[in-house]
Amino acid sequence: MQKEYIAEEFKILQDKITQALESCDAGAKFHEDIWERDAGGGGRSRVIKNGNIIEKGGVQFSAVHGELPEKIKSKLKLDAQDFFATGVSLIMHPENPHVPIIHMNVRYFELSDGSYWFGGGIDLTPIYVDKDQAKDFHLKLKEVCDRHHPDFYNKFKPWADEYFYLPFRNETRGIGGIFFDHLNDSSGMTKEQLFAFVMDVGEIFAPTYCKIMKSNASKLYSKQEKDWQLHRRGRYVEFNLVLDKGTKFGLDTAGRTESILVSMPPEVKWTYQYEVQEGSKEAESLQLLKKGLNWLEPFSA
């Protein structure tokens, strides 16, 4: 399986996702920028804003190549001189506080020495946690994982808990999902089998999220709930700028900054020592931002 084939399939996946989101939102269209990377490769950045449901969102495709920066070689302990990386990544920031933020990423990395790996995942960040939707979301991810390997969900769900965690806040970014990286033939699966899994993860995104969007978008919300949303978006910014490896990789490899930082929400707040009232819906959601929750049988550890 050639890297060019993988990149083309990712482009098709981007098309499917943007078409599905436009249909679901029914109020805005994606604007596309086609860009080139000076050091090699390029991509397609698609951004939607001010829709009926989505306030701002981005679905990015990239396929970049060239000399591996020394910073990356040192960080990943690699000796190869050149790299190729392709993938689709997205983040949606809805206007309604009752519609969760969502992130999805699938990617492929190949080095000039012949080594390769896949990575990716999906995670959901509700402003107000709906336990039934959280369970349904994780069930869908487990179904995808189980189609490819019986151990995937039990491995990738805790990995997401660990990855999407803000240690300086002592809380997870949301209700998690799945996260995986460095999947290659050492897993006991062929490259073709791993790619089938990665594409399946990408394919499940649109129907899963569109269902959540349609279920929650008509819910009324108060000024307090909107204010809470803006503060919770602040946690998203903190994670993406301080901890996210994809953001760091993109910037370290001279990626397109506008496309990398499209993940930032359109509006956000930070308030010093924001007070949450005991017994409130906000307090209830905060109690659920923990590692190790079994969302399939809420809420045993």
CB 164 within 8 A of CB 123: yes
Strands 101-111 and 165-166: what pairing? unpaired
Strands 165-166 and 171-172: what pairing? antiparallel
Residue 293 dihedral angles phi and psi, to the nearest 5°: -70, 135
Residues in the chain: 301
Q: If DSSP codes are grouped into helix, strand and coil, which group holds residue 94?
A: strand
Amino acid letter for position 27: G
Name the catalytic one among 93, 98, 103, 138.
Answer: 103
CB 149 within 8 A of CB 190: no
CB 88 within 8 A of CB 59: yes
- 149 catalytic residue (yes or no): no
CB 22 within 8 A of CB 29: yes
Please give the Cα distance from 293 to 276 (Å, whole number): 22
What number of other Cβ atoms are within 10 A of residue 101's Cβ? 23
Beta bridge partners of 180: 120
Taking alpha carbons only, the member of 134, 56, 94 closest to residue 219 is 94
Q: Where are the alpha helices (DSSP H) in the chain?
A: 3-25, 70-76, 131-148, 152-163, 191-216, 223-242, 245-252, 257-260, 281-286
Taking alpha carbons only, the member of 119, 129, 140, 137 closest to residue 173 is 129
Please give the Cα distance from 240 to 252 (Å, whole number): 14
Indicate which residues carry an active-site annotation.
103
